[in-house]
Amino acid sequence: MVQNHRNPASACPRRRVNVARSMAMAFLVSLGAALPLSAQSPKVHYRFDGTEPPGAIGRERLQRGGPLPGYFQPVEIRAPKGAQISLAVQGDFDEPRSTPIEVGLLIAPVYRLRVSNIPLYEGQEVYPTIEIIDRLYPPDGERRRFPIPIQLTEDDLQLALDGKFVTRVIYIEDPNLALPVAERAEDQDWFEVGPRVNPLEEADRWGRPVAIVRMGGRLPDIDEGPDDCFLHGSPPFTVFRPRVQIETIPKGLEARGVSRPRQSTARGVTVR
Amino acid sequence: MITLLAALMLCSCRSGPRASAPAPSTIGPDGLPATAWTGGPEPCFDDGVPPEALSHAPVPYEPVNSWQPPGLERPWPYDEYLRDGGDREGPVAVSPDWQVEGLDLEDTVAHYDALDGRTLVEPSNRVHIYAPRFGAVRSVTTQLASEQIDQPIGVKLREQLVHHDDVEQATTSLQREQARGDVGTKIASAYRTRQGDGAVSNTLLSFSFQDAFLPFENLQVIKLGLHHQAEKARLAEATQAAIIWTGDQAVQVLLDGRSAVEMAKDERTEVVYTDIDLRVPQLRIIKVASTQTALPGETIDFTLRFDNVGTQPLGNIVIIDSLTTRLEYVVESAQSSRKAEFSNQRNEGESLILRWEISDPLEPGEGGIVRFRCRVR
């Protein structure tokens, strides 16, 4: 394997034990599978596979230009009810938070999470990563209303605990290819591809990939705790305070003079 | 003295106070705990150089206006917006049996009949609604545990050729002998002539119609059926000649001893009368939406305003809206300010085509409104 010290995934040679091997194997297998199909000649040449090291695709995306560097893309992380999520802060994980949580993540850095208190798997933890590779362009003032939903499903967490490696590519659906089904806020439409199919390419076929979630595989050092390579440098993020739900007041109470509570004007706080 | 000078020089060479690393404040901004501080990556890399993406401190970037690459149609990017209205691809047309052709998803048009019998189609404007929807692709692979590639053990190289065949250079060559003289071509001393047959040859014309236009037929109206103004004089001259030379003066033959029956005919060329109505039919249809942004599950109210901005009454006005896939019509939400028959049918996007048939003609200056509600899928 070529030593590339500028790549955070390969910066710590002692750490890249299993994942690098499996990624390289999967890449070679997918490449070999694609060679006989070269006669079908896809119109787009995909440089990256879904099994690229975390951070590689986002860094390449930044080089294409646009208002991407330094933009904190709102992201809503959802997990099964009861599960708690911690983000990497200053070389360690911060306090667990109940989901859903809304944070602003930079494009290209890799964010390591710790999912704990998983239903039916209490005492076990999963350490997924989130890599934002593109952003949204909402109208002014509507940024927080349209976050990228990152869904850590119970099925994904269970697969990760069973030793599988789960890659989930989130994309913005092309309106011309939209499925005529209603989407619920708590249940994102998704489909599964086989092991020899590039999930990034498949997501690009149906829309515009914006985020990659990987889970399974690497675990922090039991004795010394998570090191900085495991946390990918603990990149900065923005914490959005949760919105206050407007409670509906019965008409009887409103008539008695009970005022309707105002919706909080939550604002983002940059965490450095 | 020397010691004093040396001490002064050392003091002058000292720099200012060393820049110490900023200590993280115990109370973070806006009351966040002190642990809510991440900072930059630690130099755990072998060469001490962090990756480029993390080496620069990120600056919060807030675009003043929505950014978009130059030269593209607004709003951008297209995949974050729902569109409804207008005539998207091929133009909508109405056949004589009132079949609407070319109606695509998102199209909103109105067709109406003018006084001259034509059925005209007028598209509405297009409405853009910011409503991105997300999907996900999952891939599950099995990890190969306890295996690691430390370094390549070997590489396969192509063996170098031990021997290769060279093309040997020619050592000798045969010189072609130079021609010692030219071979001349003798000039023809006599001409060969073709002798005529001594008789008059005559080519007979074919009796059938030739597939070519004759010189006097070189007119657009003859060749293409298109009347050209510049040919009017020539055409009049030609038709006059036809009148003169094609009029039968008298019966010239007798058939079986019977006399021919005299026939009276109109010798004039055909005359076309055109009735030009200066009153112009024109319908205007405008579409508006109740919101510019919507999340899945929210509802949007659409309003279509139609006006007769022409100078003649319009009849059989039909307003058609083919909803895009992600818009679901809310049942019994259609309204109309004028008497109309509402109907719907399924389109190719698993949504509906809404149709209002306005019952009464629309006089110039009159208008109406239709409304409906949709839920974002």
Does the distance separating the beta carbons of B139 and A50 come in below 8 Å? yes
Closest Cα of chain B to A194: distance in Å?
A: 6
d(CA B226, CA B207): 29
Average pLDDT value for residue range A89-108: 92
pTM of the model: 0.62
Given A164, A185, A233, which is nearest B296 (Cβ)? A185
Listed in sequence order, the DSSP H helices in chain A are 19-34, 56-62, 154-161, 199-206, 251-255
d(CA B82, CA B300): 12
B282 and B362 assigned to the same domain: yes
B347 and B284 assigned to the same domain: yes
Rounded mean pLDDT of chain B?
A: 70
Please tell me the predicted confidence (pLDDT) of residue A218.
78
Residue B352: band (very low, low, confident or very high) from pLDDT cuts 50, 70, 90: very high
The residue among A205, A114, A178, A181 whose CA lies nearest residue A152 is: A114
Has residue B333 been placed in a domain? Answer: yes
Residue A39 pLDDT exceeds 70: no
Residue B47: band (very low, low, confident or very high) from pLDDT cuts 50, 70, 90: very low
Residue A224 pLDDT exceeds 80: yes
Please tell me the predicted confidence (pLDDT) of residue B175.
67
d(CA B167, CA B96): 80
Residue B99 pLDDT exceeds 50: yes
Has residue B263 been placed in a domain? Answer: no
Does the distance separating the beta carbons of B139 and A199 come in below 8 Å? yes
| A185 part of contact set with chain B, CB < 8 Å | yes
Residue A156 pLDDT exceeds 70: yes
Please tell me the predicted confidence (pLDDT) of residue B376.
92
Instruction: Compare A144 and A23 and report the one with higher pLDDT.
Output: A144
Task: Report the domain count for chain B.
Answer: 2
Given A106, A145, A165, which is nearest B293 (Cβ)? A145
Please tell me the predicted confidence (pLDDT) of residue A115.
95
Has residue B346 been placed in a domain? Answer: yes
Q: What is the CATH number of the domain that holds B122?
A: 2.60.40.1510
| A96 part of contact set with chain B, CB < 8 Å | no
Has residue B188 been placed in a domain? Answer: no
Domain positions in chain A are 19-241
d(CA B251, CA B260): 6
Rounded mean pLDDT of chain A?
A: 78
CA-nearest residue to B28 within chain A is A271
Does the distance separating the beta carbons of B53 and A58 come in below 8 Å? yes
Does the distance separating the beta carbons of A173 and B133 come in below 8 Å? yes
Has residue B265 been placed in a domain? Answer: no
Residue B4: band (very low, low, confident or very high) from pLDDT cuts 50, 70, 90: very low
Residues B108 and B320 sit within 8 Å (Cβ to Cβ): yes
Average pLDDT value for residue range A240-247: 69
B227 and B307 assigned to the same domain: no
Q: Of B75-84, B177-186, B201-210, which one has max mean pLDDT? A: B75-84
List the single best residue of B64, B79, B138, B323 to mutate versus A (max A Cβ within 10 A): B138
Does the distance separating the beta carbons of A183 and B140 come in below 8 Å? no
d(CA B304, CA B288): 7
Among B243, B262, B295, the domain-final residue is B243
| A141 part of contact set with chain B, CB < 8 Å | no
CA-nearest residue to B50 within chain A is A6
Given A17, A90, A185, which is nearest B37 (Cβ)? A90
Does the distance separating the beta carbons of A235 and B54 come in below 8 Å? yes
Tens of pLDDT, residues A244-261 = 666 666 656 555 554 544
CB contact burial A231-260 (16+ within 10 A = b; e otherwise): bbbbbbbbbbeeeeeeeeeeeeeeeeeeee
B239 and B285 assigned to the same domain: no
B239 and B286 assigned to the same domain: no
d(CA A3, CA B150): 10
> Which residue, chain included where needed, has tokens 């071509």?
B185
Has residue B288 been placed in a domain? Answer: yes
Tens of pLDDT, residues B298-327 = 999 998 889 898 899 999 999 999 999 999
- Show the domain range for B233: 216-243
Average pLDDT value for residue range B27-56: 38
Provide the CB-side half-sphere exposure for B142 (13 A, CA): 1
